[in-house]
């Protein structure tokens, strides 16, 4: 009996690892492509220019923050650290938060993986719901994050207390100088900068990706779909539509997975019956997982951390409802629940060829990074932030 129990446990673990491995194989090439494109953008956009553009909380400044954030891909921890860095350099609190949201929720690698694992509708929902969430956050900050709270948050931010990924957020390796975009990009400094951003972004996010794949694999292998359908109240579409966006961010908060790492788990939840809007709100919630909330408290103080968390949660829920209603009204809500989770196998198809091609691209960038003393930069990624920035 004991042997059977051990065998069953081993089979269950192998099943979960196989599910995680198959999802990893499916998302490899879009991850490499997304981080490479992100490295290109970061290599030619200087952070000083970004901070100047985000100095107010006008619609124009928030729109600039959204666009620049979407072009500056980060893991959730690095995005939070970078938002504080911009705030200390003169960006408004609202614009810094909009940049933070966009840099994890409106990035190309997230859209590619959503399309590949779940379908193009989820990518469209992300890029429609993300700006809605940012507008709601901006309104929430204008109503509830003013005066003394923001003054206290700035005073706390100026202390420079370390959170996570500080060194990564503080490094600006963009290429300065004259010349066209292509000339700067294809120069030796340009390629070195792309390689550095590519490797460091991977180094920042790989734990989240692996964690997300393992959690998703375990969910897919061990949690009966009937249990999930009962929890998400999928028997009644109206009630499920109301419940999904409320509970989606809560699941994200306690799963501790952020950035693109939560997409595989989102696929499992969708197959398990969570509403379409619930998937959107779950993915948006990478910035209120418990470790990130604790970092907000270090960065901005207790009151500001509570305000950020509350406003973010409300905006995520409302953005989820907006996505649910918009897609239902246009008939774009997916009807089938067959997101790619398990049963995907490695074979000589387009995924394999794309993976081989992009592994070669990634290897080229990694080798270039290491030849330029990259190991020392990696050791500094989690270090202290830059000294307090005085602006005026």
The pLDDT assigned to 186 comes to 75
pLDDT at 364 over 90: yes
Q: Which phi and psi (to 5°) does residue 91 adopt?
A: -65, 145
- Segment 305-324 shows an average pLDDT of 97
Task: Determine if residue 191 is left, alpha or beta; phi over 0 gives left, psi from -120 to 50 gives alpha, anything else beta.
Answer: alpha
Of 51-60, 131-140, 165-174, 282-291, which gets the smallest average pLDDT? 165-174
Residue 165: what pLDDT? 57
Q: Provide the whole-model pTM.
A: 0.80
User: What integer pLDDT is reported at residue 224 of this predicted model?
Assistant: 85
Rounded to whole angstroms, how far apart are CA atoms 239 and 198? 43
Report CA-CA distances (Å) from 65 to 11, 84, 116, 335: 48, 13, 27, 35
Q: What are the residues whose beta carbons fall under 8 Å from the beta carbon of 56, sequence distance 6 or more?
A: 92, 95
CB neighbour list of residue 149: distance below 8 Å, 6 or more residues apart: 303, 304, 307
Is the pLDDT at 389 greater than 50? The verdict is no
Does position 140 have pLDDT exceeding 90, yes or no? yes
Average pLDDT over residues 333-359: 76
What is the structure's pLDDT at 351?
78
Asked whether 382 and 200 are in contact (CB, 8 A), the reply is no
Residue with tokens 């409300």: 314
Mean pLDDT of the region 186-215: 81
- What is the distance between the alpha carbons of residues 182 and 284, in angstroms, rounded to a whole number? 33
- Separation of CA 134 from chain center: 14
Neighbours of 48 (CB within 10 A): 12
Q: What is the mean pLDDT of residues 225-250?
A: 93
The pLDDT value recorded for residue 279 is 96
Task: Please compute the mean of the pLDDT values over residues 319-337 and round it to a whole number.
Answer: 94
pLDDT of 266-291, one tens digit each? 988 998 899 999 999 999 998 998 88
The yes-or-no verdict on residue 329 having pLDDT over 90 is yes
More confident call, 41 vs 99: 99
Residue 170 confidence (pLDDT): 58
**Best mean pLDDT range from 29-43, 95-109, 329-343:** 95-109
Higher pLDDT, 239 or 4: 239
Quick one: average pLDDT of 186-192? 83
pLDDT at 172: 61
Look over the chain and give the mean of its residue pLDDT values, rounded to a whole number.
83
- Whether the predicted pLDDT of 199 surpasses 80: yes
Q: Residue 28's Cα: distance from chain center in Å?
A: 16
pLDDT of 102-131, one tens digit each?
Answer: 988 998 888 888 888 889 999 999 999 999
Task: Give the residue with greater pLDDT, 31 vs 103.
Answer: 103
């Amino acid at each position: 009996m004991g042997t059977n129990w051990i065998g069953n446990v081993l089979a269950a673990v192998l099943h979960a690892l196989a599910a995680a491995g198959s999802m990893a194989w499916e998302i490899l090439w879009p991850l490499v492509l997304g981080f490479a494109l992100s490295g290109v953008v970061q290599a030619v956009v200087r952070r000083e220019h970004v901070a100047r553009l985000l100095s107010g909380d006008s619609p124009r400044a928030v729109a600039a923050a959204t666009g620049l954030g979407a072009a500056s891909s980060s893991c959730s921890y690095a995005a939070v650290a970078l938002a504080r860095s911009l705030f200390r350099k003169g960006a408004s609190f609202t614009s810094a938060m909009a940049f933070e949201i966009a840099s994890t929720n409106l990035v190309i690698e997230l859209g590619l993986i959503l399309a590949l694992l779940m379908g193009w509708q989820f990518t469209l929902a992300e890029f429609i719901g993300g700006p809605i969430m940012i507008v709601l956050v901006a309104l929430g900050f204008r109503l509830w994050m003013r005066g003394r709270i923001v003054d206290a948050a700035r005073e706390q931010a100026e202390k420079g207390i370390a959170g996570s990924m500080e060194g990564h957020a503080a490094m600006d390796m963009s290429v300065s100088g004259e010349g066209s975009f292509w000339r700067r990009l294809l120069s030796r400094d340009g390629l070195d900068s792309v390689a550095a951003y590519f490797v460091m972004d991977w180094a920042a996010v790989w734990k989240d990706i692996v964690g997300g794949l393992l959690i998703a694999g375990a969910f897919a292998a061990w949690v009966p779909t009937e249990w999930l359908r009962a929890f998400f109240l999928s028997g009644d579409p109206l009630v499920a539509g109301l419940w999904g966006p409320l509970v989606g961010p809560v699941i994200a908060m306690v799963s501790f997975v952020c950035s693109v790492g939560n997409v595989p788990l989102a696929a499992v939840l969708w197959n398990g019956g969570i509403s379409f809007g619930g998937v959107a709100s779950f993915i948006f919630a990478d910035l209120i997982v418990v470790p990130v909330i604790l970092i907000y408290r270090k960065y901005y103080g207790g009151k500001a951390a509570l305000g950020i968390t509350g406003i973010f949660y409300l905006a995520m829920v409302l953005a989820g409802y907006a996505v649910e209603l918009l897609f239902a009204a246009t008939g774009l809500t997916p009807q089938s629940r067959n997101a790619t989770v398990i049963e995907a196998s490695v074979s000589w198809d387009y995924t394999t060829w794309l993976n081989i091609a992009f592994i070669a691209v990634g290897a080229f960038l990694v080798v270039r990074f290491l030849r330029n003393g990259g190991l020392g930069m990696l050791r500094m990624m989690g270090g202290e932030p830059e000294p307090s920035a005085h602006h005026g």
